[in-house]
Every structure is written in C-alpha cells, then in structure tokens.
Amino acid sequence: MLEFSAPGAAVPVSHTPAGASSATRHSTNRGQPLEHGGVTPSQAAHRHRELSAELRRHDHAYYVLARPVVSDAEYDRLYRELLDLEAAHPELRTPDSPSQRVGGAPISAFQPARHSVPMMSLDNTYSQEEVREFVARVQKLLPGEPLEWVVEPKVDGVAVSLRYEAGLLVLGATRGDGTTGDDITANLRTIRTLPLRLTGEQVPGVLEVRGEVYMPTAGFRRLNEEREAAGEERFANPRNATAGSLKLLDSRIVAGRPLAIVLYGLGEASPEFAPATQVELLQELRRLGLPMPSRMWVCPGVDPLMEAIGELDRERGGFGFETDGAVIKLNSIASRAKAGATAKAPRWAIAYKYAPEQARTRLRGITVQVGRTGALTPVAELEPVFLAGSTISRATLHNQEELERKDIRVGDLVVIEKAGEVIPAVVGAVASERRGGEEKFVFPTECPECGTRVARAEGADDDSAGVVWRCGNPDCPAQVRGRIAHWCSRGAMDIEGAGDVLVGQLVGSGLVLDVADLYRLQLPEVAALERMGEKSAQNLLDGIGASRSRDLWRLLFGLGILHVGAGVAKALGRRFESLEELAGSSREQLLEVEDVGEVIARSVTEWFADPRNRKLLDRLRAAGLNLHSALYQPQAAPGRFSGKTFVLTGTLEGMTREEATALIEGHGGKVSGSVSKKTDYLLAGEEAGSKLEKARKLGVRIIGLEEFRTLVA
Ligand code: IVH
C-alpha cells in the first residue's frame, strides 16, 4: 500500500477567534487613503500586482502552511495599502484581488447555476462485507483488469463545484439537485485557502473541480463559543455550521466563518487537462494551488483497501476536521469510464461510513437551563454512561421543537452520540423499549429560575428567532449570574479569580446585582464569603481593579449586547473613539461599520436607548472604568456617498457592475442587492426589470448612468 501525504486539507484556520471577522488578521479598515496622487495608472497597476502577489504569499504561509512570515501589523499595513490603492484606482479591484475575500454587499437570493457535468452522489455503506461485494461487482464489470483503489477521507461538509476560466475563479455552486445548484461564488471567495486565481504554468482554459467545504473542529468550537457569548444559538455540528454559513446571503458574515475547502474531483475540463488517474488529478490540483485531501492511500487490491480503511479510522481523530467515513474510488480514470454510472451514482466509487460512537442509556429527567440572555435550553439528565473516552451524564436537547420532533420522553431509553469532538447529543428515543410509564416533558411556560412567563422572540432576526423561549425578566437571578460571569470571562474583562462559583456566591449573597457593583466591593464583605480567605478576597479585588483599564471593545463585549460578539465589539472600537461617541451614534453611522448590518445596528441602538443600560454606564463611568478605544482609527473624510445605499439594475452601457460598485464604495457608499425603503438610489441601466418597478413604487430616486457619472465626477 502506497501512502501519499500532501499539505492542504488539515488546514489550520486563522488563529483569530472565529466570528471575529476577517478583520483581526485581514483588516478591512478603510483608513485615510495613502497619497496615491501623482502616481500614473501603470505605476499603480504595477504596485497593485506587487502587493497582491505578496499578500497571496502571506495568505498561503498563514492559512495553508500555518507558518506566517510577517507580523499581523505588517500584513495589515500591506493590506491597507492595497485597499487604498483600489479606492484611488477602482479599476484595479479585480475579482482575484486579495481584497475580494472580505465579502461584498448582501444579495436578496442566490441565482441558479447549472452544472455542465452533473454532480453525482455516492452509494453509502456501513458494512465491510458490502465493501468487498462492491469490489467484486466492479471486478465483474472490468474482467481481468488489475484494480487499483484510492481511499480518501470522507470530509463531512457540503459538496461544491468550482469553475475556473483562464485560471480565474468565475463560479462556485452547491450541488442542488445534481443538475442545478445555487451560485454561491461570493461566499466561496471568502475561504482563504481557496485560490481566486490558479497558480503554476499551463493553466487549463476551463477547469471545473469538485470538493467539499467544511469547518475545522477548532474553528467550529470557537464559532460556537462566540455565538453563545453573543446570545445566539449554537450550531449542532460542523456540517450544520458549514451549510448554514454557505446559505447566508451576506458574504461579509461568511468571511468571518472559519471555513476550509478540499478538492478531490473533476467536472468539465479543457481537453488538455486529462489526468489518467486520481493520484495524477490530485497532483495536478496541488500544482494549480488547490487544497486537496490531507491523506490518501493507493491500494492494489481488496486486502490493502480494507487495511487502509482501518488505518484511516485510527488516524481521523487527529485530522482537526470531521471525517465520517472513507471514500473508495478506482484510481484509473479510463477504468471508471468503462465501469459507468447509474442514474444517481458512479459504479466505480463507494462511501464507507464509520458507525458513529453511540451508547444507550436511560433519560432520568429533563432540566431547563436559563442562560445569560434568558434563553431556555432543555438538558437531558442521563444515567451515567461511558462513551468515546468519557462518562456522560448530561447532554443537550437543543430546544423544545427538537424535543418534540424526536418525541423524547422522561424515562425513555435514549441513544446518545458523540460525533468527533462535538458535545454529546441525544439522537432519539428507543420507542420499542417503552414500558408505559414514560412521560412527555411539558416545557415550562414560566422561567424555572424566577417564574416570569417565557416568550418566543418572533421575527427573522437570527436563526434562533421563533425557536428559543426566553425569560424576559432582566432581574432573573440566572441571567444576572450569567451576565456577571460573562463580564468577568477571559474573552471579555478578564477578571482573574471570578469563576462561576464565586459569581454565584456574590450574586447569591446580594453583594452584586450588576457588573457595576463589582467595583464597589469591599475587602471584609468578600472575605466573609464561604471558603474565601483574606488573600483570595484581595486577589479578586486586585483583578477587578485591573479590569478598570481594559480597552473599550472588551467592555462592549462584556456588556452582553445581543449579537455583539468580540469581533463586532472590536469593529465598533475601531470606528468609535469612546463609549460616548458610540452611544450617540445614529443607525446610519452604525451601518457603516464593517460586519454591522440591520440586526446588529438595531440591537445596539435599542441597548443604548434603554434607560437602565444608560444608568449602568453612568455607574461604570463613576467607578473609573476606561471608556476609550485604543483600537480607534480616524475615518477618512466622508465620501460623497457615505451613508447612501445604491441598488444596481439592468445593463450599464460601458461600465461593468463591478466598476460601478467600486466607484460607489470608493465614495463611501454601499451597494445592496434589493430595493427597499432604505435604498437611496437605484442606478438603472438598459432593460431594467422588477427592481425599477419597485423603486418607482417606493419613491426611490432613480438615476441613469449619465447622472451617475456626473455624481462621481
Ligand atoms: S468523491 C461522484 N471524495 O461525500 C461523486 N466525495 O457520500 C464523487 N465527500 O457526494 C464524490 N469527501 O459530497 C468524494 N474525498 C471525497 C469526499 C467526498 C467527502 C462527499 C461528497 C459526496 C459524498 C458521498
């Protein structure tokens, strides 16, 4: 058995917290444009090429090789120079520019994308016996031919197809029904390890490659922590997180999701691109700069094949991403053609799935936890059972809907599963084992902590809307504890010694009711708490004292404003010099901040409008906390379109949409995909359609290309 390893898929994702947007490493700061005046267009183009090449090299070193060669600050400097250059020369903002990774304006719906070669699926099996039968079947189709097999990890993600023309990424699509998928190019562009332009010599004219987008486990965990901290619902597993991210219509949010990609298959390709084997295909993909499977085995026969499957199973725990099986394929492309395909799947490949680690145990009860934002989460209290290396006695039941859908009853024998490194979850109940005494769980209509009636947040604000029940009492002890613990946490104000237990004691004893109370604590009262000596009390007070000088973004994150995670808090810190300035900002100003859309802007505005919150801030100010931002970067003089939203429609004679977008953004404006009351201008070209109608109805100002040219002149 030949082993073959290549760098690529076990991709270390950004060291920066997931969801912290691309900004931490790949700053999108639109700072004061550097002086590019006096530079000729050809000098600008030359410098742009240099910068792009250098940034691409650094991206590769950082994201693929995990060996950065420059500091974040140096990277940011180069990146900013590129942005400034593009602001001054919008024609340089080409689709493969490193600046195009950060996502563009939201769209209203995905366009359909037809696959030139259908995207098939694979037959699945869980049984080794069936793998042997599969091999025998293929041998029967190819009598007398010595068969060579390739085994690759089956990456648990979302299948996509990418189309490169003359080396440039022109289309990225989901599988859809196999014939037509969704055009998700803008979202795929944000994946750092995916080249926007193929590298190397002899780039094929057309190359369609197929692969899988996935979320490495470390990034997945960080994303979930970040979502929890921002009061959003956690994703159940990396595959859901990947699928959910790729479905987003706002690619700027996708840019903050730690996605990775691996490519392993071929769609349409120019005749000159004709690898003879899978091994050759992968070598070619690597040559062109495309990330490919981290590990593969070439097996000359069924026994080495079975051995490879076992080896992959033993190794996959260390891959850093979820692998739910092995994909077994014929190595020779010519033999594949002879073996053919059924309507759904090729005859020359099969997916062998490893059985997930599961266990059965009794559901003793269901408790309901109340989080910092008041969200009620049902938790399964289990008879302890050993599963995948640890004893499990609790597992999440996600939410009421999930509980009802699975019809899980207290007293049931339940199946629990631990897929990879994900937290254990209840898969379902074994209904055939019911003895009659099992009871349906009645989800509380009142908060189990404070008795307030719970309500469901309606509206399409985020993915938890309409599913999660929340306790609306801000004084609910569970929420108070949660808020204070969050404030003290490492990612926020980083107060040493203030763990959950101590916070519980501080709240329980009535010493602390909100975060401002922390700054009034006196040594004797803290030292009098149970299991607290004078020394630890002093340490705690020192920790609290030190937190007074933390930077503004930590305080903003610590306040627990809905949807304001660490990434958004940092972006706000870059845009606003002080808390005062942020508190007095308008919705329009907030919308200008990177990563801030309608939902976040509303949440921030509402938070600052609440008199209780205003009072809290007054007390924090009086307690001597730093309310200034060290991240603040003064803005460029506002462009003539700043705060204005454009929508483009129809064909613009002599100007591409990209050029128009670049001009609008270069003048501080925004481009949106659909017309609404918030649209300031509709830029209408020839054959404008329904958007024009809608703009007329809403009284949006409609301008033609000529008027637009005058405006930007
Ligand atoms: S080959 C004709 N190779 O698993 C289809 N698929 O269960 C050829 N997958 O549809 C697919 N890793 O979405 C192939 N190394 C790999 C894979 C892989 C994950 C996915 C893919 C496929 C599904 C089949």
Mean pLDDT for the stretch of residues 524-543:
93
Q: How would you classify residue 411: left for phi > 0, otherwise alpha for psi between -120 and 50, otherwise beta?
A: left
User: Is the pLDDT reported for residue 469 higher than 50?
Assistant: yes
Tokens, residue 118:
């259908």
Ligand 1 pocket mutation pick from 120, 122, 329 by most atoms within 8 angstroms of CB: 122
Q: How far is the CA of 121 from the centre of ligand 1 (A)?
A: 7
Q: Where are the domains of the chain?
A: 31-101, 113-353, 358-440, 477-622, 645-712
Which atom of ligand 1 has the smallest separation from the CA of 153?
A: 15
Ligand 1 pocket mutation pick from 134, 264, 333 by most atoms within 8 angstroms of CB: 264
SS3 360: strand
Confidence class of residue 636 from pLDDT cuts 50, 70 and 90? low
Question: How would DSSP label each residue in 324-349?
Answer: EEEEEEESBHHHHHHH-B-SSSBTTE
Structure confidence by residue, pLDDT tens digits, 7-30:
333 322 232 322 333 333 433 333
Q: For the stretch 331-347, what's the b/e string if a residue is b when 16 or more beta carbons lie within 10 angstroms of its beta carbon?
A: bbbebbeebeeeeebbb
Tokens, residue 623:
């307690």
The pLDDT of residue 235 is 86
Q: How far is the CA of 191 from the centre of ligand 1 (A)?
A: 19
User: Is the pLDDT reported for residue 165 higher than 70?
Assistant: yes
Residue whose CA is closest, atom 22 of ligand 1? Answer: 121
Compute the distance between CA of residue 306 and CA of residue 151 in angstroms, rounded to an integer. Answer: 10
Confidence class of residue 706 from pLDDT cuts 50, 70 and 90? confident
Tokens, residue 145:
């031919």
Ligand 1 pocket mutation pick from 115, 120, 121 by most atoms within 8 angstroms of CB: 121
Compute the distance between CA of residue 307 and CA of residue 590 in angstroms, rounded to an integer. Answer: 57
Which atom of ligand 1 has the smallest separation from the CA of 121?
A: 10
Residues contacting residue 697 through CB under 8 Å, at least 6 positions apart = none
CA 145 to chain centre: 46
Question: Among all residues, which ones are annotated catalytic?
Answer: 154
Residue whose CA is closest, atom 7 of ligand 1? Answer: 122
The pLDDT of residue 25 is 45
Residue whose CA is closest, atom 4 of ligand 1? Answer: 154
Lowest-confidence region among 203-217, 372-386, 421-435, 494-508 = 421-435
Q: How far is the CA of 390 from the centre of ligand 1 (A)?
A: 31
Which atom of ligand 1 has the smallest separation from the CA of 154?
A: 12
Task: Note whether 129 and 306 are within 8 A (CB).
Answer: no
Ligand 1 pocket mutation pick from 117, 155, 331 by most atoms within 8 angstroms of CB: 155
Structure confidence by residue, pLDDT tens digits, 414-452:
999 875 556 788 989 999 999 999 999 999 999 999 999
Which atom of ligand 1 has the smallest separation from the CA of 124?
A: 7
Q: How far is the CA of 354 from the centre of ligand 1 (A)?
A: 14
In angstroms and rounded to an integer, the radius of gyration of the C-alpha atoms of the chain is 28
Ligand 1 shell residues, CB under 6 Å = 120-122, 124, 152, 154-155, 159, 212, 264-265, 293, 327, 346, 349, 351
Residue whose CA is closest, atom 10 of ligand 1? Answer: 121
The pLDDT of residue 638 is 62
Q: How far is the CA of 154 from the centre of ligand 1 (A)?
A: 6
Ligand 1 pocket mutation pick from 125, 131, 154, 322 by most atoms within 8 angstroms of CB: 154
Structure confidence by residue, pLDDT tens digits, 283-297:
999 999 999 998 999
Structure confidence by residue, pLDDT tens digits, 48-66:
999 999 998 888 787 777 6
User: Is the pLDDT reported for residue 350 higher than 90?
Assistant: yes
Nearest to 210 by CA among 282, 139, 277: 282
Among 9-13, 152-156, 353-357, which range has the highest average pLDDT? 152-156
The pLDDT of residue 87 is 87
Compute the distance between CA of residue 709 and CA of residue 713 in angstroms, rounded to an integer. Answer: 6
Task: Note whether 328 and 170 are within 8 A (CB).
Answer: no
Residue whose CA is closest, atom 9 of ligand 1? Answer: 154
Report DSSP state, residue 547.
G
Compute the distance between CA of residue 334 and CA of residue 59 in angstroms, rounded to an integer. Answer: 37
Which atom of ligand 1 has the smallest separation from the CA of 152?
A: 15
Backbone angles phi, psi at 119, to 5 degrees: -95, 110
Residue whose CA is closest, atom 14 of ligand 1? Answer: 327
The pLDDT of residue 31 is 36
Compute the distance between CA of residue 523 and CA of residue 540 in angstroms, rounded to an integer. Answer: 9
Task: Note whether 183 and 241 are within 8 A (CB).
Answer: no
Q: How far is the CA of 241 from the centre of ligand 1 (A)?
A: 18
Q: How far is the CA of 383 from the centre of ligand 1 (A)?
A: 37
User: Which amino acid is located at 304 in the chain?
Assistant: P
CA distances from 497 to 57, 500, 639, 707 (A): 42, 9, 47, 62
Q: What is the CATH number that goes with domain 31-101? A: 1.10.287.610
Residue 179, class by beta-carbon neighbours within 10 Å (0-12 exposed, 13-18 middle, 19+ buried)?
Answer: exposed
Compute the distance between CA of residue 395 and CA of residue 398 in angstroms, rounded to an integer. Answer: 9
CATH class of 645-712: alpha beta
Structure confidence by residue, pLDDT tens digits, 190-210:
999 999 999 888 999 999 999
Structure confidence by residue, pLDDT tens digits, 650-686:
888 888 887 888 888 778 788 888 888 888 999 998 8
Nearest to 555 by CA among 491, 618, 481, 600: 491
CATH class of 113-353: alpha beta
Residue whose CA is closest, atom 21 of ligand 1? Answer: 159
The pLDDT of residue 29 is 35
Q: How far is the CA of 483 from the centre of ligand 1 (A)?
A: 44
Structure confidence by residue, pLDDT tens digits, 233-269:
888 789 999 999 999 998 989 999 999 999 999 999 9
Compute the distance between CA of residue 528 and CA of residue 440 in angstroms, rounded to an integer. Answer: 45
The DSSP bridge pattern shows strands 349-353 and 124-125 to be parallel
Confidence class of residue 462 from pLDDT cuts 50, 70 and 90? very low
The pLDDT of residue 16 is 32
Report DSSP state, residue 356.
P
Given the candidates 2.60.40.10, 1.10.150.20, 3.40.605.10, 1.10.10.1400, the CATH classification of the domain at 477-622 is 1.10.150.20
SS3 353: strand
Nearest to 8 by CA among 88, 63, 78: 63
Residue whose CA is closest, atom 16 of ligand 1? Answer: 154
User: Is the pLDDT reported for residue 1 higher than 60?
Assistant: no
Residue whose CA is closest, atom 12 of ligand 1? Answer: 154
CA distances from 479 to 107, 380, 423, 474, 547 (A): 36, 21, 23, 7, 22
- Report field, pTM of the whole predicted structure over 0.75: no
Share of the chain above pLDDT 70, in %: 92
Compute the distance between CA of residue 321 and CA of residue 319 in angstroms, rounded to an integer. Answer: 5
The DSSP bridge pattern shows strands 454-456 and 469-471 to be antiparallel
Mean pLDDT for the stretch of residues 624-648:
83
Compute the distance between CA of residue 318 and CA of residue 9 in angstroms, rounded to an integer. Answer: 13
CA distances from 467 to 395, 400, 402, 687 (A): 19, 8, 9, 42
Q: How far is the CA of 327 from the centre of ligand 1 (A)?
A: 7
The DSSP bridge pattern shows strands 454-456 and 376-387 to be unpaired
SS3 425: strand
Output helix, strand, coil percentages for the chain, rounded to the nearest 5.
35, 20, 40
The pLDDT of residue 13 is 26
User: Is the pLDDT reported for residue 458 higher than 60?
Assistant: no
Q: What is the 3-state secondary structure (H, E, C) of 24-52?
A: CCCCCCCCCCCCCCCCCHHHHHHHHHHHH
Q: What is the mean pLDDT of the chain?
A: 87
Tokens, residue 358:
């599961």
Q: How far is the CA of 302 from the centre of ligand 1 (A)?
A: 20
Mean pLDDT for the stretch of residues 580-600:
90
Nearest to 598 by CA among 692, 696, 702, 672: 672
Task: Note whether 421 and 388 are within 8 A (CB).
Answer: no
CATH class of 358-440: mainly beta
Q: Which helix (H) or strand (E) holds 267?
A: strand 260-269
Residue whose CA is closest, atom 17 of ligand 1? Answer: 154
CA distances from 134 to 149, 165, 352 (A): 12, 37, 11
CA distances from 609 to 406, 471, 486, 678 (A): 41, 21, 22, 22
